[in-house]
Chains A and B, each alone.
Chain A
Amino acid sequence: MSFLPYAVAAWLFLIGLYGIVSTRNLVCAILSLTVVQSATYVVLLAIGYTNGGQAPIFADIPQVTKTVDPVVQVLVLTDIVIEATVSAMLLALAVQAYKRFGSLDPQDLRALRD
Chain B
Amino acid sequence: MSRTARLLMFGVGAAGLGVVLVYGLGGIPAFGHYQGVYGRVLDGIGVAQRHATDLVTGLNFDFRAFDTLGEEFILFASVLGIVLILREMRDEHERPRQEEADEHQFAGASSALRALALGLIPSMIALGVYIVVHGQITPGGGFQGGVILATGPLVAFLSGRYLRMKALAPHTIIELGDAAGAMGYALIGLGGLVFVGVFFKNFLPLGIPGHLLSAGQIDVASVAVGLEVSGAFLVGWSEFFDQAILVRPEGDR
Which of B18, B25, B56 contacts A70, CB < 8 Å? B56
CB <8 Å contact, A85 and B47: no
The residues of A with any CB-CB pair to B shorter than 8 Å are 1-7, 9-10, 13-14, 17-18, 21-22, 43, 46-51, 53, 55-59, 63, 67-74, 77-78, 81-82, 84-86, 88-89, 91-93, 95-96, 99, 107
* Residue B105 at the chain A interface, CB threshold 8 Å: no
CA gap between A10 and B243 in the complex, in Å: 37
Per-position contact with A for B61-91: 1 when CB-CB < 8 Å, else 0?
A: 0001001100100110011011001100100
Chain B: CB-nearest residue to A78:
B71
User: By the criterion of a CB under 8 Å from any partner CB, how many residues of chain B are at the interface?
Assistant: 56
CB <8 Å contact, B25 and A49: no
Chain A: CB-nearest residue to B41:
A71
CA gap between A68 and B59 in the complex, in Å: 14
CB <8 Å contact, B138 and A57: yes
Interface of A is mostly: helix
CB <8 Å contact, A59 and B53: yes
A14-B17, A71-B59 known; A9+B81 contact, CB < 8 A? no
| Known A9-B25, A77-B56, A95-B86; further 8 A-B contacts with Cβ < 8 A | A57-B55, A57-B139, A58-B53, A58-B55, A68-B34, A70-B39, A77-B60, A81-B71
